[in-house]
Homo-oligomer: A and B are copies of this chain.
């Protein structure tokens, strides 16, 4: 399902078929079942993943054993433990599948080669990264300024599809609430 990737990239930079064929050659496909890990805490994170189909979560488990979700990854999202991916260190995040998931994978070395060979991809990654940065800024402001109910409502507006795909427990872990509090909101 490389066409998904092509369409995704072309939202930001136009590509010829030849260019895309070259780009595609840097990726490998993998499929994971629900509950399987893409990345485990304490292990290496050699790949950045592009989610073609399915749904994953990236999370950290704190010293009390509570999990805090940093990011969901649904169709057309990029996800990995970037800290570990870029530095080569072991992961502090875990990423596992909420649904059966189909991803495209690229290693760091291949990503660098790809950017060197295809300037358009470097431009693409810069734009993606900038948008991602702004999205995280919005989330930080949301955490700083709003209470439980408002945060939940913002999430409903921003990702209306998510709520039907992920259990409320996980929504709570993303919003920084207990599941009981979330349950009492609506």
Q: Which residues of A contact B (CB under 8 A)?
A: 60, 62, 66, 68, 70, 82-83, 86, 115, 119, 122-123, 125-126, 129-130, 132-134, 136-141, 143-145, 176
Contact = CB atoms under 8 A, between A and B. Distances in A.
A143 B176 contact: yes
A82 B140 contact: no
Instruction: Tell me how many chains of this kind the complex includes.
Output: 2
A106 to B, nearest CB: 14
Contacts of A133: 82, 129, 132-133, 136
Contacts of A143: 140, 143-144, 176
Contacts of A115: 126
Given A60-B145, A125-B126, A129-B129, A82 B137 contact: yes
A141 B82 contact: no
Contacts of A68: 141, 144-145
Contacts of A129: 126, 129-130, 133
